[in-house]
């Protein structure tokens, strides 16, 4: 009984029971024909522009210089909203955006349930790694049965990784600059994204374990895919073709 109430209190979008108990999908402001695309600023935005261009979509303002959160495109019925990377799945899940682009890191951490994920766009590629201060004997400490303190923005990914290895950990949740934590004694190690490795090197850290490869995915609101199929499916098809061509070269 207690477990049942816990289930009701904590919405688990990955649960097979989610579909039984959830309220009908409520489309918010997007019930009309306007297509709303959720993107985050920076790497994902920059690497999405060529895909949008291939589909004939041009964003008319630069989010790095504009303070606007809703950006117009060259189509009157298409707009881009700029949201924090970790909020993209939420906007799409609730239908405030019809589709968006989110890192696999964000999708694993938040649970990708309730979303249609048709494509790995192979953009913003990087690796989820464990890193420590240079000289820290990670293998020895982690195999000696000691508890490790792990600073990360990704507590679920970190917990799962160390549980599989049978290493006891305490998680210290941070929201940015994880690299600082081992340098000032806040943690023994970090779990973070590594792309070029430049940030680790600049801070005298080294990667000691690879957790998984990360790239960005197209995520689509399930109701929007049905209701706006004629608008959304051609975009998915062009994205798929462009990604295939880019990765052939």
Q: Which is nearer to ligand AMP, 35 or 171 (CB)?
A: 171
Q: Which of 41, 197, 208, 209 binds ligand AMP (CB under 6 A)?
A: 197
Residues 118-147 that bind ligand AMP (CB under 6 A): 124, 126
Q: Is 172 in the site for ligand AMP (CB under 6 A)?
A: no
Q: Is 148 in the site for ligand AMP (CB under 6 A)?
A: no
Neighbours of 65 (CB within 10 A): 7
Q: Which is nearer to ligand AMP, 161 or 228 (CB)?
A: 161
In sequence order, the β-bridge partners of residue 233 are none
String of b and e for 69-98 (b: at least 16 CB within 10 Å)? eebebeeeebbbbbbebbbbbbbbbebbbb
Neighbours of 199 (CB within 10 A): 16
Q: Is 247 in the site for ligand AMP (CB under 6 A)?
A: no
Q: Which is nearer to ligand AMP, 6 or 49 (CB)?
A: 49
Q: Is 103 in the site for ligand AMP (CB under 6 A)?
A: yes
Q: Which residue has the tokens 């938040």?
A: 110
Judged by CB under 6 A, the stretch of 1-9, 155-163, 191-199, 229-237 that binds ligand AMP is 191-199
Q: Which is nearer to ligand AMP, 15 or 215 (CB)?
A: 215
As a whole number of angstroms, the distance between CA 36 and CA 92 comes to: 9
* Residue 219 and residue 22 in contact, taking contact as beta carbons nearer than 8 Å: no
Strand segments, DSSP code E, in 63-204 are 70-72, 78-82, 99-103, 115-120, 126-133, 148-152, 169-173, 189-194
Q: Provide the mask over 31-70, with x wherever binding to ligand AMP is found by CB under 6 A and - wherever it is not.
A: ------------x---------------------------
Q: Which is nearer to ligand AMP, 153 or 228 (CB)?
A: 153
Residues that bind ligand AMP (CB under 6 A): 43, 103, 124, 126, 192-199
């Amino acid at each position: 009984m207690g477990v049942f109430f816990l289930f009701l209190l904590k919405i688990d979008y990955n649960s097979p029971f989610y579909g039984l108990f959830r309220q009908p999908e409520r489309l918010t402001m997007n019930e009309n024909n306007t297509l709303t695309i959720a993107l985050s600023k920076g790497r994902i935005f920059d690497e999405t522009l060529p895909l949008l261009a291939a589909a004939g979509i041009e964003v008319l303002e630069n989010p790095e210089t504009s303070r606007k959160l809703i950006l117009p495109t060259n189509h009157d019925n298409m707009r881009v909203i700029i949201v924090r990377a970790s909020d993209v799945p939420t906007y799409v899940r609730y239908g405030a955006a019809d589709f968006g682009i989110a890192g696999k890191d964000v999708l694993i951490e938040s649970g990708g349930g309730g979303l249609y994920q048709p494509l790995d766009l192979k953009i913003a590629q990087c690796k989820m790694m464990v890193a420590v201060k240079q000289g820290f004997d990670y293998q020895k400490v982690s195999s000696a049965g000691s508890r490790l303190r792990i600073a990360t923005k990704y507590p679920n990914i970190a917990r799962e990784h160390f549980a599989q290895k049978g290493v006891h950990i305490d998680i210290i949740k941070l929201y940015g600059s994880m690299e600082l934590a081992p340098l000032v004694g806040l943690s023994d190690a970090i779990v973070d994204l590594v792309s070029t490795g430049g940030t680790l090197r600049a801070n005298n850290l080294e990667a000691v374990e690879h957790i998984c490869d990360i790239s960005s995915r197209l995520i689509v609101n399930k109701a929007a895919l049905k209701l706006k199929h004629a608008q959304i499916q051609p975009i998915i098809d062009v994205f798929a073709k462009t990604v295939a061509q880019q990765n052939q070269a």
